[in-house]
Amino acid sequence: MEEIFRAQYTVMCMLPNVAQSVYDVIYPCCNFKFLYLRHAENASYLSQKLTKMYIVMHIFYAVKFENTNLSKQRSVCARGESARRNVTKRKMQKDLHL
């Protein structure tokens, strides 16, 4: 899941419904045979939930680290620029989802 997530997230982070788009790519590639051996009646539900929780947590941390990077860049740039210019740059970054 990790390899597929890393490859697909950079491509799909600009699209709407990021979590669902990544789920649609990751879920068919996963092997959940171990669930069907012990919990066959709930295996489908468990495999879907496990994949969705993994994706949501990964997206949360990816956004958290990206926001940290943006705030560090902003503080470095803020030293020599006006406050109005910083606000405009921040809005553009939010609009472009960078």
The pTM score is 0.66
C-alpha torsion sign, points 48, 49, 54, 58: positive
Domain count, the chain: 1
Compute the average pLDDT of residues 69-88: 64
pLDDT of residue 41: 82
User: Model confidence over 9-66: pLDDT tens digits?
Assistant: 888 888 888 889 999 999 998 888 887 787 788 888 888 999 999 999 998 888 888 8
In the numeric block, which tokens belong to residue 68? Answer: 């940290």
Compute the average pLDDT of residues 66-92: 67
pLDDT of residue 54: 92
pLDDT of residue 57: 92
pLDDT of residue 97: 55
Supply the range of the domain harboring residue 20: 2-96
Q: Is residue 53 within 8 Å of residue 13, measured between CB atoms?
A: no
